[in-house]
Amino acid sequence: MEIHIKKDRPSPADQYPNRARMLISCPDGPGIVAAVSQFLYQHGANIVQSDQYTMDPDGGMFFIRVEFDLEDLTSKLPQLEESFRSIADQFRMEWKIYHAARKKRLAIFVSKEDHCLVELLWQWQAGDLDADIALVVSNHPDMREYVESFGIPYHHIPVTPETKQEAEKRQLETIGDDIDVIILARYMQIISPTFIEHYRNRIINIHHSFLPAFVGGKPYAQAYNRGVKIIGATAHYVTEELDGGPIIEQDVQRVSHRDDVNELKRIGRTIERVVLARAVKWHVEDRILVHNNKTVVFN
């Protein structure tokens, strides 16, 4: 039964049907901004926001994000991309243009802890997360009813050490071909390199510690034992190195000796929710570029 009615707050995607976002990484050099902005101007686009960053002025990498409006974007986009190719080649660019009105499609993976899932569903339903939640995948059956009450399909795919490979295969089939990003909302299984390869820089995990402190299991118990005065959470892209991928966002909260492990977990749940939701928001708004093992976040 669908009892959660999505708010009809105006979505950016709806408000600006002709908005595009362009992400570019390339070796730094003179003339890049001029070439890009001249190109957009000549094609009738109006730049509404632009951010750039040079990792090191002398021979480093250059990153740029441009938001622009272009009338009839849908029909003109293919031609625009075609025309841009020569500029891209000239500056050896990695680049991508996203149509903002085409909402990103999310798959959320979850295990038994539900707070991150609940937050994402709530933000989505409140109109604060401008994306489509296509499906939820879980290795447990517990949250089916809750997820389905939002009108979102729930796929229970059990995972055991023996069936892990098979389970991942089923997960990939279930997800299909049109998912843009996978959110591990406290999904407690390690993802295999093969799976990661399919979704390079498109799997976002929330780790319940201020990485790189307390890598691995039971980070709140580790934090309690070390007597830290601040705890945190970290959203990062998943790579082959456990808890070692590019950090997207972190946040913290002050704690004291009075807070036992259960209280740290309780406080941590709110930090985790907020940090993961921010990382997802920035990803779906095409604000993140990854270079080596670091992110450039234009927020």
- How many chain residues bind its own copies (CB under 8 A)? 72
Nearer to its own copies by C-beta: 53 or 195?
53
Q: Which of 243, 251, 259, 260 is catalytic?
A: 243
Rounded to whole angstroms, how far apart are CA atoms 255 and 197? 38
Minimal distance, residue 214 CB to its own copies, in Å: 7
Q: Which stretch binds its own copies (CB under 8 A): 73-81, 87-95, 99-107, 118-126?
A: 118-126
CB 246 within 8 A of CB 238: no
Decide if residue 115 touches its own copies (CB under 8 A): yes
Rounded to whole angstroms, how far apart are CA atoms 143 and 156? 9
In the numeric block, the tokens 């946040």 are attached to 251
Decide if residue 221 touches its own copies (CB under 8 A): no
> Which parts of 131-190 interact with its own copies (CB under 8 A)?
145-146, 149
CB 115 within 8 A of CB 186: yes
Minimal distance, residue 34 CB to its own copies, in Å: 4
Q: Which of 71, 230, 240, 242 binds its own copies (CB under 8 A)?
A: 230
**Is 132 among the residues known to form the active site?**
no
> Which parts of 47-86 interact with its own copies (CB under 8 A)?
47-54, 56-57, 69
Nearer to its own copies by C-beta: 145 or 166?
145
> Which parts of 249-278 interact with its own copies (CB under 8 A)?
249-252, 254, 256-258, 260, 266, 269-270, 274
CB 257 within 8 A of CB 288: no
Per-position DSSP letters for 44-102, written without gaps between them? T-EEEEEEEEES-TTT-EEEEEEEEE-TTHHHHHHHHHHHHHHHHHHTT-EEEEEETTS
Nearer to its own copies by C-beta: 41 or 85?
41
CB 88 within 8 A of CB 82: no
In the numeric block, the tokens 């708010």 are attached to 7
Rounded to whole angstroms, how far apart are CA atoms 64 and 93? 10
Q: Which of 40, 108, 184, 280 binds its own copies (CB under 8 A)?
A: 40
Decide if residue 214 touches its own copies (CB under 8 A): yes
Catalytic residue positions, numbered: 243
